[in-house]
Each structure stands twice: as C-alpha cells, then as structure tokens.
Amino acid sequence: MVAKIVVTQPVHAEQVQRLRDAGHEVVTLDSPRGLSAAELIEHTKDADALLSQLTDKLTEEVFAETRLTIVATIATGFDNIDVDAAQKAGTIVTRTPDVLTDATADLAMTLMLAVARQIPESDASTREHGTGPFQLLREPMGIDISGATLGIVGLGRIGEALAHRAHFGFGMKILYTARSAHPAAEERFGASRLPLGQLLAESDVVSLHVPLNDETRHLIDRETLTLMKPTAILINTGRGPLINERDLAEALRTNQLAGAGLDVFENEPDVHPDLLAVGSRAVLTPHIGSATAKTRRAMASLAVDNILAVLAGDPPLTPVK
C-alpha cells in the first residue's frame, strides 16, 4: 500500500529517500523547531505515519484527531508523547534506544571531567591571558574524578555504559538507584544499590539517567540538594525537568554544591537566567548527548526501519512498551 508519511523536522536526506524508494508519499515539513499539537493535527490529518523528534508535542488531541498507524520518534526519550492516548487510538509508537547509548555516556563522562577540571573556564582564560607562568599553587584547583564515588540515578542502558567508563577507565566506585537490583552490574562494577537519599549523600558525582515522568519531575530540588556533599558535582544528560533549575542555581551560588554539568534544561530552548549567572561552576551544553554524526545517522535510520516495518505489516523493531 502507498502510505502518506509526514516528516516534521530536517532528517538525513538518505533516510527520506528510503521512505520514497519504498513507494510511499513523503511530506517533509522541515520545521526548524518542534511542532505544536495544533500544527501536528493540521499536517497529519490524513497521514499514516509520522517521523518525529523529541520537541514535537504529541498530545492526546493529536491521537484523537488523526489516524496514524505509527509515530516513530528519533529519540530514546518519549516524554513528549502521550503514549496512553496513542495506545487507545491504536497508534504504534517507536523510539531509538541502544544506538545512542555510547555517545550519551561519553558526554556524561565529558561533562564530569569538564566540570571537575574547569575546562571551559581554563580555555577562556588561556585565550584571553595566555597561560602565565606555571604556578604550583594556582587557584582554583580541580577535583579528582579518578577514584571518586559516582552515584548513578537510574541504571538503564546509558547509566550502565557510564558505570563501565567510570569504573574501568577512572577507578570510580559505583553506587546506583533502580527499581530492582542489577546483580550483573553489581558483579561487574562492584556497584551498590542504595536509596536515593543515601546515594546523594555518599556520592562525589551524581549523574541522572531516569526517564522523565510524574515521579521523577524535580527529583533534584532544594530538599534533595541539601543531601549532597558541598564538594559534589551533578550531571544531567537525561531530561531537564528532572532538576528544579532555580534550586540548583541557588545551591551552586551558595556553595552548597561544587558544580554541575548540564546538557538538558527545564524549559528548552531556554536556560534559566540564574543558571547562566553562576558562571563557570555550571558547564552547559545544548542537548548534544547523542550528537555524533554516526549516532544521529543510526537514530534516523532506526526510526525509518520502524516505519517501513510497520507499514509493511511487520512488528515494530523498537516499540515503546
């Protein structure tokens, strides 16, 4: 059957071509930003499939007003999609896990090191003033990552890939929170499962890897921040709203926390002004966890694989369960 497929935002040309080569009608909207529910309804009323991204707002109304067979999001997170409404409407939702695990874990490690060794600030001062004479006692000094304790909140695929890098590469002690125990990770990394409060209190670095939902929104706020060591670093490559940004900025400003490395923000594309005001204690990147050429290509390709499979009457490869 010839299906109509809507592609909301720019994707690799060869992936659009794969959809056309399969004989489908493809409409590329090339929106430079995510689509609102109203825009999605307008453009997908008569569509069979949607190739979408994490900034598209796939609300209950969208599923009620359309007859989509599949929504394939080019992301592993799907908090922008009302999955219950999709299920009620009989729309399959797929995502792109696994292919971005390494790139995202690499970025979490990078942010950890960048904060601990103050890389952006050192780069800026070297450009402005040169290196100056070497001084044994030059302040500010960095924080040791090697041998430190890493608390991983959510030991899924990315959390586990980070544990691997941190434990085997940097000799870090691994603590984790998870709904259920991971005996394999405990054996491999000597990891210990702790309740969140205890993990926050014992960790030198805390990295967030839980999905965003009603339970995890503002998991890190004024109250939980008080549990962390004043020398600790917080890393977030998951979803911005896991953290109350105003509370985090206040903790950094008042030296209740040493630093933060953030790739995601509560109100993307905006960054809370208080976070910008804390200066180099917060290292900020623009949601680039999966942004390597190979990974982004693999994500788009997997999303297209899902659409082609479902339109051919086969089961989806990586459905949201």
- CB closer to ligand DGY out of 24 and 209: 209
Task: Name the minimum Å distance from CB 104 to ligand DGY.
Answer: 7
Task: Name the minimum Å distance from CB 256 to ligand DGY.
Answer: 28
- CB closer to ligand DGY out of 200 and 262: 262
297: buried, middle or exposed (CB in 10 Å: 19+, 13-18, 0-12)?
A: middle
Contacts for 56 with CB less than 8 Å, ≥ 6 apart: 8, 9, 34, 35, 40, 73, 80
- CB closer to ligand DGY out of 201 and 271: 271
Per-residue binding string, ligand DGY, 264-303, x by CB under 6 A, is: -------------------------xx-------------
287 is catalytic: yes
Catalytic residue among 239, 272, 281, 296: 239
Task: Name the minimum Å distance from CB 240 to ligand DGY.
Answer: 10
Q: Are 219 and 199 in contact (CB under 8 A)?
A: no
Q: Are 175 and 149 in contact (CB under 8 A)?
A: yes
Task: Name the minimum Å distance from CB 213 to ligand DGY.
Answer: 13
Q: Residue 85: name the closest of 63, 70, 54 by CA.
A: 63
Per-residue binding string, ligand DGY, 219-248, x by CB under 6 A, is: ------------------------------
- CB closer to ligand DGY out of 151 and 289: 289
- CB closer to ligand DGY out of 77 and 319: 77
Task: Name the minimum Å distance from CB 290 to ligand DGY.
Answer: 3
Task: Name the minimum Å distance from CB 54 to ligand DGY.
Answer: 6
Which tokens in the block code for residue 304?
């297209």
Q: Are 171 and 199 in contact (CB under 8 A)?
A: no
CB atoms within 10 A of CB 47: 18
- CB closer to ligand DGY out of 77 and 316: 77
Catalytic residue among 60, 186, 250, 268: 268
127 is catalytic: no
Site for ligand DGY in 49-78 (CB under 6 A): 54, 75-77
Catalytic residue among 18, 167, 272, 287: 287
DSSP string, 201-218: HH-SEEEE-PPPSTTTTT
Which tokens in the block code for residue 216?
């995890």
Dist CA 57 CA 150 (whole Å): 34
Q: Are 78 and 195 in contact (CB under 8 A)?
A: no
Among 19, 86, 100, 262, binds ligand DGY (CB under 6 A): 100
- First-to-last C-alpha distance (Å) of the chain: 26
Dist CA 155 CA 193 (whole Å): 10
Q: Is 177 in the site for ligand DGY (CB under 6 A)?
A: no
Per-residue binding string, ligand DGY, 5-44, x by CB under 6 A, is: ----------------------------------------
138 is catalytic: no
Reported in sequence order, the residue ranges of 190-292 that DSSP labels E, i.e. its strands, are 192-193, 205-208, 233-236, 259-262, 282-284
What percent of the residues of the chain are helix, what percent strand, and what percent coil, each to the nearest 5? Answer: 40, 15, 45
Dist CA 25 CA 47 (whole Å): 9
Give the residues lining the site for ligand DGY (CB under 6 A). Answer: 54, 75-77, 100, 289-290
Positions marked catalytic:
239, 268, 287
